[in-house]
Structure 1
Amino acid sequence: MMTLVLLLSCVGHLLIAFPAPGSVYVASVIIGFSFSAQLSLLFAIISELFGLKYYSTLFNCGQLASPLGSYILNVKVTGMLYDREALKELAKSGRDRSSVNELICLRSQCYRLAFSILAVVTFFGAVVSLILVVRTREFYKGDIYKKFRDEAEDS
């Protein structure tokens, strides 16, 4: 399920990177749905794979992944690429950085590379998720809660 959600998110990023009329609205809905589904599935996956003994610690590590990834991809990658495109647009108009207060880019090209990178990162996450599915297939064929019931009975 996580693989499908990540692939859906990848489609949303590509709809923004290569826009068509009205595609940004559709992409916003897709990405919003995907983000909430990812968070919901992440904590179910953590509890199933690692159990509940250290769930609070693993829960917080899962929570930390979202803002950390957002900061790196939004501020460092997307911000840098936007500034570079805005400087290109400024140079085409014959001005330099010292002549303006803010860098403004008004073309669809401004975010194309950034959202393409986000789509590639999301696709990589989908591939990793698919590998996890293949590797845990035997685990899910059996009684996945047997181990946890045995631990509870021993305590």
Structure 2
Amino acid sequence: MATNETCKELLLDNQLCFALYSTSLMMTKVYKPLLQELGLTYPQYLAMMVLWERDGITVGEISTRLLTDPGSLTPLLKRLEAEGLLTRTRSTKDERVVELRLTDKGRAMQEQAKRVPACILTATELGLDELGSLKSELVALRNSLQKAV
């Protein structure tokens, strides 16, 4: 079936959303073997990075940081707790609030994870300046899209 030339705006390869989506898929595939060595999925890795930045935060805070719904994080956090990487406890000030704290095992994993960013940098075949510029542009795009929703 021939492509209708009048619908160039609907060609898959002309879509920014597909470029972002397919790049995200490839990025996740590059991360997968690196994270398997740590015993983490990509979403778990993101949660652990937030906790390595700031231990002792609430589920709501980590949800905000990851731009996700707190309810969708609960199963992920329960699995990390079952693996002995963090603890989830109710706040003594407000029992509706769940606080997250890294265990010794969770803190120790940070040392193992330090090699992941260098592996990703190598896979991108970009220099640090190029990667920094690209990240800045993507964050600006994300921020604009966030305002639109």
TM-score, normalisation: structure 1: 0.26
Q: Which has the larger radius of gyration?
A: 1
TM-score, normalisation: structure 2: 0.26
Larger RCO (alpha carbons 8 Å, 6+ apart)? 1
Q: Which structure: greater strand fraction?
A: 2
